[in-house]
Chains A and B, each alone.
Chain A
Amino acid sequence: MTTTPSTPGGASVPPPEPSESVVQDFANLSAALTGFQPSFIRPFLDPVNLSGTFYQFAVAQVGQTMMDALMSAFDALSNQQPALSPQQIADTLLEVSSPTPSAQAQLCQAIIAMWYLGSWYPPPFQTGGLHQVISSQAYTKSLVWNIAQAHPMGFSAFTFGYWSQTPGSLETFGVNTGNGGGQ
């Protein structure tokens, strides 16, 4: 556990800009936790850069030490042989079978919530954390709506009458449906 003070909104003490490899690693972790395709979470060209935004935001909330520990755990699982599926990695990090998830697992839950809901839901271990919408783009790109094969309320990229037609497949909404983790 870290003692880094959380800065509401991550505004007052912005952590240093993370390197490309750190952001990519965080994106890979996020893809495994959320069940989305890595190339959807971190596209080849990413002008919105939510991976960078969320990484920095989470670090500001829980501290660099804790985030580094999570990334190390993720890297270790990713490099394990024989290779684990993204679902196995997610289940391990989230400790899904445990009724009392560790602080690190709680952080993983908060990371899923960031991507799904565009908001910071302070995990139980965090003191003084504030529940907040991270940014307008965090909302308009929040993934829970993709899971519904829809769009965030108030931000539709579809055109008139789409609602009378069946939506595209879940894959076209970025969900990684094909790694055997589904039930």
Chain B
Amino acid sequence: MSNGAAPQYDVVIVGAGVSGNLIAKQLGLAGKKVLILEAGLPVPDSREEYMNNFYLALAKTPESPYPALAGRTGTKENPVGKLPDPATLPTPRATVLGLGGPPDVSYLVQAQPWTGTHPDSPAPPQNPPVQPDGGVRGLQFSSTFERNGGGTSWHWLGTSLRELENDIRMYTKYQHAVDWPVTYEEMQPLWARAEKEIGVAASVVQQEPLEVVGLEYPAGYEYPMQPIPTSLVDQAISQAVSGLQVPGTLPDTPGGSDPQLYDVFVTPTPAGRNSEPYDDRRVCAGNTNCIPICPIQAKWDPTVTLGKALDTGNVTVSYQSVAYNVGTTADGKTATQIDYYVWSRDEQGNLHKESHSVTAKIYVLACHAIENAKLLLLSNNWNGIANTSQQVGRNLMDHPLYLTWALAPQPLWGYRGPLATAGIESLRDGEFRKYRASFRMEIGNEGWNFATGDPYTTALDYINGTNNSALNPTNQRLGGTALALKLNNLFTRQFRIACMFDQSPLQQNFVELDVDRETHQPNNIDGLGIPRPRVEYGFDPYTMEGFRMAAYVCTKIYEQMGAQEFTKNGVGGTGDFTYRGVNYHYYGAGHVVGTHRMGPDGGSSVVDASQRSHDIPNLWVVGSGSFPTVCTANPTLTLTALAFKSADSIIAALNS
């Protein structure tokens, strides 16, 4: 473009995930010529390789089915090998197994756990100290993601909840955080389009009780598919919480109190999962494996939309193509090209890269909240673009997840059905949001699999006479029928609840390039020589007060059920922190948010409500990174809805 030639494409999109594929499809249907640059490997012809990876993986983590591109571990071929060094990989990504590790196993460069086992830290394990403002810093950002065709949503759960009205106007309503630059009314038709694209199974009638937290649908709206039945676990909890009420805040909550009592009740969760044949895909068979991979594609994933994009004949995908620079004019106000490496490995496994550039009228970054921020910061010789607001990479958020688990007094038969079919959404909104983080509660259908690695851990405990599960306190060793009956008695009573918080956006939670500020030299790089993301993360008291409330509510529910709680919160490990003298443990939810927040103006935000850069009018930066707050719903439905809005605005811009 700089040499005066016509742009090669109408639009170049970086990333073949949820947003990128959907925008490509919409543009392709509108007759626009699109190139998608996808950093990772192509979408495979069948799921055989991915499923085989999963079956043979010792640690069946979210990343386990997907290629690590070198040195895959936990497989039959390489069962105990060291995790691959991200510095040797063309598209390293954050993995569960690499979390909390040093940069030779963890793609994200971040603080190490406060652990006495760390060679540099001989002190006994401890949790990060409380800061003067009451918050904690130095936590590990614990969400992971994929860099392959189809993106991270290969292993999304399918949860397709809509946000609440007050979720997207937190400042106006509660004087906390920021408002979204879109209205609830504006979102309604976008959510409907997203629900059709994904294929969401739910019933408006079943969701109606959530009017108490402000959930509303346009008159006459129906979901594309009938709802998915709830599990026996859901049903048991639902019965037990009947009549249960909890206050908005606990005593001594900083900032104020909300003594109002809120009803606790269970509702089925809208899910992008087939409850009838839909879009050429099968009905859910309850493989209990939405994460890390549905074996039968009964759950929507972005490869479905990618296929439709390619069917338009107007969309091309270039795989193994890692963007490392968005070229701009000297004034930084027009994007002119994308520079990318095409990588390959030779037969000896050596990594090769070739540099390429491509031009288009409009550029779309759709490669994940962390990677979008990284690419913006890499551009302009690592000085960054589209960053007048200085908000690129800031406000990094997750849905930090607090997990509790218990043994029911009677069997309720977990380990069956989709991973989650219902939750408690009734506590997602209230005056308490002035003082503490709101949360939703997801009921799990996989026993203690998430909680303790069961059924493996407890089975091994009773085979070997250990007590890693806390279920074998006398270190019994059993065999034969006695073993089978003992384990049956335990497994059929296991269940868990996960709470996910509307964490505060904080300027000091950020992703930046791992580059030395003075020498301008990279510290940690990937296999292509690109600086890796460095992350700083922590919680404010508002967020942690949400944890305190969640722990209280879970315990109340377990008491109500007569269930024995086994929740374990550690010290000194990845995800451990202490609030008001009580230890908590959080997990990442994979809901990475905030790094290119949208807002009304370029002074305080990176993109506008269409996810268009305030600074660079021919650049869109899309995905959950645009969310100003993480809200209470899982983000995929809303980021899909926003992708429709972006696609509309791109088509309008191209046609004007």
Contact = CB atoms under 8 A, between A and B. Distances in A.
A80 interface: no
A112 to B, nearest CB: 5
Contact of B459 (A116, A163, A164): A116
Interface stretch (A18-26, A66-74, A85-93): A85-93
Contacts of A164: 229-232, 235, 417
Given A116-B463, A117-B456, A160 B480 contact: no
A36 B289 CA distance: 26
A109 interface: yes
B353 interface: no
Nearest to A110: B463
Interface residues of B, number: 60
A87 B480 contact: yes
A167 B481 contact: no
B528 to A, nearest CB: 32
A175 B58 contact: no
A156 B285 contact: yes
Given A94-B477, A96-B478, A131-B80, A175 B287 contact: no
Contacts of B229: 161, 163-164
A28 interface: no
A153 B459 contact: no
A162 interface: yes
Contacts of A77: none
B492 interface: yes
A161 B417 CA distance: 7
B288 A139 contact: no
Contacts, number: 200
B293 to A, nearest CB: 7
Interface in B481-497: 481-488, 491-492
A158 interface: yes
B76 A132 contact: yes
Interface string B406-424: 0000000111111001000
A38 interface: no
B413 A167 contact: yes
Interface string A131-173: 1111110011000110111110111101111111111001000
B488 A163 contact: no
Contact of A155 (B58, B295, B446): B295
Interface string A98-114: 01010000001100110
A109 B77 CA distance: 24
A176 interface: yes
Contact of B477 (A36, A96, A133, A159): A96
Nearest to B494: A148
B479 interface: yes
B52 interface: yes
B92 to A, nearest CB: 24
A145 B447 CA distance: 11
A79 interface: no
A34 interface: yes
B539 interface: no
Contacts of A182: 481-482, 485
A159 B275 CA distance: 11
Contacts of A147: 455, 459, 484, 487-488, 491
A119 interface: yes
A58 interface: no
B286 A162 contact: yes
Q: Which of B77, B293, B484 has the most CB of A within 10 A?
A: B484
Contacts of B488: 147-149, 170, 175
A166 B413 contact: yes
Nearest to B464: A109
Interface in B289-313: 289, 293, 295
A150 to B, nearest CB: 4
Given A144-B487, A176-B481, A151 B56 contact: no
Nearest to A11: B76
Most B Cβ at <10 Å: residue of A90, A101, A134, A150: A150
Q: Name which of A113, A144, A155, A183 has the most chain B CB atoms within 10 A of its CB.
A: A144
B285 A112 contact: no
Q: Which 6 A-B pairs have the closest CB atoms?
A: A163-B417, A90-B480, A35-B484, A150-B415, A181-B481, A136-B55
Given A132-B79, A154-B51, A181-B481, 19 more contacts: A32-B480, A87-B482, A91-B482, A113-B463, A117-B460, A130-B79, A133-B75, A135-B76, A147-B488, A148-B415, A149-B416, A151-B287, A151-B416, A153-B449, A159-B286, A160-B284, A163-B286, A163-B445, A166-B232
Interface of A: 8-9, 32-36, 86-87, 89-91, 93-94, 96, 99, 101, 108-109, 112-113, 116-117, 119, 121, 130-136, 139-140, 144-145, 147-151, 153-156, 158-167, 170, 175-177, 179, 181-183
Interface of B: 51-52, 54-58, 60, 75-77, 79-80, 229-232, 235, 275, 283-289, 293, 295, 413-418, 421, 445-447, 449, 455-456, 459-460, 463-465, 477-488, 491-492
13 contacts: A89-B480, A94-B479, A112-B463, A130-B79, A145-B455, A147-B491, A149-B492, A151-B415, A153-B449, A156-B286, A161-B229, A161-B286, A166-B232
